[in-house]
Structure 1
Amino acid sequence: MYIRPRKRRRSNPWRVLFLLILIAGALYAYTLIQRRQIENPFTPTPTPTRSAYFYREEAEALYIQGDLEGAIQAYEQAVRLAPDDVDLYVPLVRLLVLKGRPDEAVVWGERGVDVAPESAPAWAVLGLAYDWVGRVPDAIEACLRAVELGPAYAEAYAYLAEAYTDDRRVEKGLEAAQKALELAPRSVDAYRAYGYVLEHLGNWSGAIEAYRKGLEVHPYLAHLYLDIGRNYLALADTASALEAFRRAVELDPNRADALDQLGWAYFAIQDYELAQSYLEQAIEVDPNYAPAYGHLATTYWVRRNYESAIPNFEKAIDLAYQAARRKAYGFSITVESAQEPSLYPSPDVVLEGELAWGDERRTRLAATLEPSVYLEGNEETGGRVTLDVLSGRYSLFVHGLPSLPADQVYVGWFQGLEALDGTPFNTGPLPVTADGGVEFEGRAEPVRGPRIEHFYTLGLCYFYMAQCERAYPLFDAALQIDPEEPNALEGIRLCQEAEGTPVPTPTP
């Protein structure tokens, strides 16, 4: 019998496709599970975003431990998260000052009063910052504003005491410091201000006692040990000064001024090797800390290592110039007599403007110049000035100046910047084109800032290196500061004698 083969069913292509997709999905799921089993143990657990409150708490804890740098960083984070909270600006500005960064403190302090113009603490701490950058009149004004807004705010009186003392009104400083202690007998800043006033009154033992009272409140503040050490040096108690400076370095080993003062104390007892070691560490910590260069240069000088002393003296002088230029706060153009040298600006101000930082790195100051009362109604006159604080070079562009009689000239003045002899630094007569324009470039140097002994000692280094041509300008700079400086006069005599130049015989 013939049996026919069974007829096969034809496969449904859609069913096949569905099965393939299902299999592929299962394989993918299996692979994903396997990957997760491997990767999950190494995946970090998500954490909530830190708040301004968190950083503030962290900053306060770090401050209690004496870690000012860590506290500053935490406060900066907090301010970024809560830029309208003035209570974050106040401790940040204060710690920047105490850490030796007053320029940054001024920036944050001015932001603080912008955020809260009626805040007594904001004005007080801005006054502290102004005082530490040498803007003493502004410091007093800011502190008085703080006292007006908060008559019971102790720190306003403490910072005012410091500013009054720097303004040579020590008696008023003493009154303010005593008021601060009366309002807050447990205020570290009140004790520091009181000690500062006593120090300037020559009561060094009393100053030490006041600073130690501050340490009883907060025993981990390096700057108070520096204050104590400085006063022990004034009492010629070098052993106690060294102990205080060592403690400051222990508390803050990366603090340039602590390393510098410890090194300088070793210099005082003629331990020049240890002095050199600590001074070099100070420069390594902060390559822009001018006092350490001056002290290191002096250490090389007494060891007769003139080759090493010279670049360090030059660096100290250059950094002091930069620091002086940073204090410039305004620029003006006045009308002056062409017949007499312009030592001080006349009241006939034509253009003026406030200098402000023109870049984030704070290396360039700039001001837009606008007509003053002298040119009231003349809207066509204006200009701009920029000052590079690192190099000292400045550029001035003016348009629309009225023509002057032949016996008068225009002169530019930098407010807050002085020549070596103490007179306001000026541009000299400005060249004005026929259409009233000025395009002028100059250099704000030399200016008052470097220590006089750095000038004449550097000059003597060059003398001993047989380079009197480089020594003379340095002796001259010292004599501009003090026309009777004996070391500069002696340096000139030595150079003239070495060169065979006749030396004038003093008249009996």
Structure 2
Amino acid sequence: YGLLIGGILVFVSAQFGKLQLVALDAIGLAPTATPFASTFASQGYDLFLQGKMEEAATAYAQAVSQEPNNINYIYEYGRTLIELDRPASAAQNRPKSDSELASALGDRAIEAAPQDVRAYTIKANALVWLDDSQSAIPIALKGYEINSNFAPLLAILARAYTDIGRYQQGLDYGAAAVDADPKSVEAHRGYAIALILVGRRDEAIKELEDAININPNLTSPYFELAGQYKGANRLEDAIAAYEKVLTLQPRNAKALLRLCETYTQVGQNEQAEGFCDDALTIDPNYADAYKARGGVRFRRRNYEDAIVDFKACQANDSTAIECYYQQGLAYYYIGGTANCDSAWDLLNQAQQKTTEPTILNIIQTGLKLVTENCVAYNNHALPTIEPTVIPPTLIGAG
């Protein structure tokens, strides 16, 4: 009997953790088990298809944290980050942009699975979105050697070659991407970008409409399509595309900003300002929204508030030229000695920051107004404009 009691005590001691969980489970207090990486990845995939990119990225991040070298999870996480495309933001505790994070994932993927085309696809795609297509191409071509029929990779080559001015190669890779997988959203988008940059807008619109029909829950194609609608002066269609984004993501600040810009374009300034207000309510650090709202207020001759917006644009690390020269003009139109000083300084700063002829002409006109109408500057000579350096033509470009 003593041996029996002793045996029971040994068993209980050895199994105490499990028995404790059983007891807690019986009264509903057992801790929740951590899901498997595959569960997080499955959740991420479903969320991606639904267009819920932030939630999808969170799920894939958890999958990758459990299995950091699993190429399936790395690839899906990387392409989700690229689709999400958030900039770095100190205010939102995001020290790196999503594309920078995807680039680091690409490095890890290549190290973990050097014979998998998806590893090179993620790295090259991230580099394209980081405006480094020149570096993306050799990496993408390594992936091409592994699998020359992978549509997302072909789509990246289409974008990258187009970016560096080799348009025919871009078109060829874009068409090949669609042929390789007609149901690939990336393929249609990649081909569309190549078509856009050679002026074939109607064909590009069709490709983007096809991409949306494949998955109407992804927001990026709507932005690209709306841009083409605006270029074709189909402003109602562009507005409808941005409004569709808002039905999918009601707090999408970028869509609200684009509506602000589009309504500004058609002269509906009051409505435009309201959309910019909404964008800034969602993201108080959105420099482009401050720039746009400042522009609207400038047009409405609300110069004081326009200046506040342009200063906020600069304070949020924007280098947008509008936040300098329009701010300078706003100071000029308010008038007064101190404001003339601010106008002169800002217009001169702006002139050093651009080579765009139309903007330089506006800046020179503003400086001329200051010399004519601000007493302290009556004898000031207008600053000269440095000649534009024409870059050499790339050998083999075309």
Same fold (TM over 0.5): yes
Does 2:44 correspond to 1:172? Answer: no
1:404 paired residue number? none
How many angstroms apart in 2 are the aligned matches of 1:483 and 1:73? Answer: 41
TM-score, normalization: structure 1?
0.63
| 2:185 aligned residue (180, 184, 188) | 188
| 1:476 aligned residue (330, 348, 351) | 348
Tell whether the 8 Å contact from 1:123 to 1:143 is kept in structure 2 after alignment.
yes
| 1:123 aligned residue (120, 126, 140) | 120
How many angstroms apart in 2 are the aligned matches of 1:492 and 1:97? Answer: 42
Change (3 A) 1:120 1:40: closer
Deviates more, 1:262-271 or 1:55-64: 262-271
How many angstroms apart in 1 are the aligned matches of 2:333 and 2:102? Answer: 43
Query: 1:85-484 alignment to 2 at 5 Å?
Result: 85-101=70-86, 102-319=99-316, 321=318, 450-466=319-335, 467-480=339-352, 481-482=354-355
2:21 paired residue number? none
Does 2:57 correspond to 1:72? Answer: yes
Deviates more, 1:52-61 or 1:276-285: 276-285
Change (3 A) 1:140 1:465: farther
How many angstroms apart in 1 are the aligned matches of 2:102 and 2:81? Answer: 5
For residue 490 of structure 1, report the CA deviation from its aligned partner: 1.1
| 2:372 aligned residue (497, 500, 508) | 497
How many angstroms apart in 1 are the aligned matches of 2:120 and 2:294? Answer: 39
| 2:48 aligned residue (54, 60, 63) | 63
Change (3 A) 1:105 1:275: farther
Query: 1:20-39 alignment to 2 at 5 Å?
Result: none
For residue 302 of structure 1, report the CA deviation from its aligned partner: 0.8
What SS does the aligned partner of 1:185 have? coil
Name which one, 1 or 2, has greater alpha-carbon Rg.
Answer: 1
How many angstroms apart in 2 are the aligned matches of 1:99 and 1:194? Answer: 20
What SS does the aligned partner of 1:94 have? helix
Deviates more, 1:49-58 or 1:108-117: 108-117
Which structure features the higher share of strand residues?
Answer: 1
1:365-386, Cα deviation, whole Å (9 max, x unpaired): xxxxxxxxxxxxxxxxxxxxxx
The residue identity in structure 2 corresponding to 1:71 is A
How many angstroms apart in 2 are the aligned matches of 1:314 and 1:118? Answer: 50
How many angstroms apart in 1 are the aligned matches of 2:279 and 2:119? Answer: 32
How many angstroms apart in 2 are the aligned matches of 1:248 and 1:110? Answer: 32
How many angstroms apart in 2 are the aligned matches of 1:92 and 1:290? Answer: 27
What SS does the aligned partner of 1:118 have? coil
Deviates more, 1:122-131 or 1:102-111: 102-111
The residue identity in structure 1 corresponding to 2:203 is G
For residue 482 of structure 1, report the CA deviation from its aligned partner: 2.3
Change (3 A) 1:107 1:279: farther
Deviates more, 1:170-179 or 1:115-124: 115-124
How many angstroms apart in 1 are the aligned matches of 2:367 and 2:116? Answer: 56
Tell whether the 8 Å contact from 2:69 to 2:108 is kept in structure 1 after alignment.
no
Tell whether the 8 Å contact from 1:229 to 1:245 is kept in structure 2 after alignment.
yes
For residue 455 of structure 1, report the CA deviation from its aligned partner: 2.5
How many percent of aligned residue pairs carry the same amino acid?
A: 29
Tell whether the 8 Å contact from 2:40 to 2:62 is kept in structure 1 after alignment.
yes
Q: Which runs of 5+ in 1 are unaligned?
A: 1-38, 322-449
For residue 468 of structure 1, report the CA deviation from its aligned partner: 2.5
Tell whether the 8 Å contact from 2:44 to 2:56 is kept in structure 1 after alignment.
yes
Deviates more, 1:83-92 or 1:303-312: 303-312
The residue identity in structure 2 corresponding to 1:493 is K
How many angstroms apart in 2 are the aligned matches of 1:115 and 1:187? Answer: 25
How many angstroms apart in 1 are the aligned matches of 2:101 and 2:363? Answer: 37
1:121-159, Cα deviation, whole Å (9 max, x unpaired): 121122111111222222223222221232222211101
How many angstroms apart in 2 are the aligned matches of 1:105 and 1:314? Answer: 32
Change (3 A) 1:128 1:198: same
Tell whether the 8 Å contact from 1:283 to 1:289 is kept in structure 2 after alignment.
yes
Tell whether the 8 Å contact from 1:493 to 1:503 is kept in structure 2 after alignment.
no
What SS does the aligned partner of 2:187 have? helix
What SS does the aligned partner of 1:462 have? helix
The residue identity in structure 2 corresponding to 1:208 is I
How many angstroms apart in 2 are the aligned matches of 1:289 and 1:169? Answer: 34
How many angstroms apart in 1 are the aligned matches of 2:280 and 2:104? Answer: 25
What SS does the aligned partner of 1:207 have? helix
CA RMSD of aligned residues (A): 2.3
Tell whether the 8 Å contact from 1:78 to 1:88 is kept in structure 2 after alignment.
yes
How many angstroms apart in 2 are the aligned matches of 1:237 and 1:277? Answer: 22
How many angstroms apart in 2 are the aligned matches of 1:483 and 1:268? Answer: 20
The residue identity in structure 2 corresponding to 1:149 is I
Tell whether the 8 Å contact from 2:41 to 2:63 is kept in structure 1 after alignment.
yes
TM-score, normalization: structure 2?
0.79
The residue identity in structure 1 corresponding to 2:326 is T
Change (3 A) 1:212 1:476: same
Change (3 A) 1:110 1:306: farther
Q: State the aligned residue count.
A: 339
How many angstroms apart in 1 are the aligned matches of 2:80 and 2:366? Answer: 44
How many angstroms apart in 2 are the aligned matches of 1:238 and 1:44? Answer: 57
Tell whether the 8 Å contact from 1:222 to 1:249 is kept in structure 2 after alignment.
no
